[in-house]
Amino acid sequence: MQERAFELARASGLIRPGEPLIVLLSGGADSVCLLDCAQRLDARVHVLHVNYGLRPGSDADEQFCRVLCDRMGVEITVQRVALGEGNLQALARQARYEIAERLAVEHSCDFAAAHTASDQAETVLYRLDDESWIVDSPGMKEFGLAHLEPQEIENAFIEMRPLLGQCRFRNCSHGVEPGCVLQGAVASGAVRPWRLKLLQQLLSERSRSDRPW
Ligand SMILES: [Zn+2]
């Protein structure tokens, strides 16, 4: 179990005890980790597995997910989709988010997803709902964040976008600096405290990944 992923998931407040949550489960290590985090945080988890039928192992992945959920006592929805022509990775991503969104609306809840490290930087931060994102497993996080500019990380927090670039100091870490508009927004209730905390965590993870070792 990846403890740092769990700690980050817990600290972020994105996975809430007793609240329903759709977890996208591919069967890969990252998604199993995410499912484990959600279970340990006592979210009311419903798993979604999307089978694209693209690889010889697709049905084995589906079977693995069914067995895992059965063992964990988690409900699972399996959706089979046939993708059209084009960029299969992009089509698959679009398909699973559409399905997840539909299921999330049905269950009146958010959804959470994890991706593999082979994906692009955009997948480092994962959509939970219109304003919430979650970071993947620890190795992935450091690998991925190093490719992102601080501004790109900040931009993932859509409710903060109008405020970005307005802090007194250009390289504001949005901590204790005077004249920080994000701290001001938290104080006035416009930005939720845990959201700013998550942003600060991501920025500090990223600056740590700048080091040569
Ligand atoms: Zn600031």
CATH of domain 3-145: 3.40.50.620
**DSSP conformational letter for 122:** G
Residues of the chain with pLDDT under 50: 1, 116-125, 127-133, 135-144, 211-213
Whole-prediction pTM value?
A: 0.56
Phi, psi of 121 (to 5 degrees): -55, -35
Task: Give the model confidence (pLDDT) of 10-59 as tens digits.
Answer: 666 667 788 888 888 888 766 777 788 888 889 899 999 999 988 888 89
| Protein residues within 5 Å, CB atom, of ion ligand 1 | 167, 172, 174, 180, 182
* Cβ 209 vs Cβ 142: under 8 Å: yes
Task: Give the model confidence (pLDDT) of 153-165 as tens digits.
Answer: 787 777 788 999 9
Task: State the fold for domain 150-209.
Answer: Ribonucleotide Reductase Protein R1; domain 1 (1.10.40)
Q: State the pLDDT at residue 117.
A: 40
Classify burial at 106, counting beta carbons within 10 Å of its beta carbon; exposed 0-12, middle 13-18, buried 19 or more: exposed
Q: Tell me how far the alpha carbon of residue 173 lies from the centroid of ligand 1, in angstroms.
A: 6
Residues of the chain with CATH 3.40.50.620: 3-145
Residues of the chain with CATH 1.10.40.50: 150-209
Q: Tell me how far the alpha carbon of residue 183 lies from the centroid of ligand 1, in angstroms.
A: 7
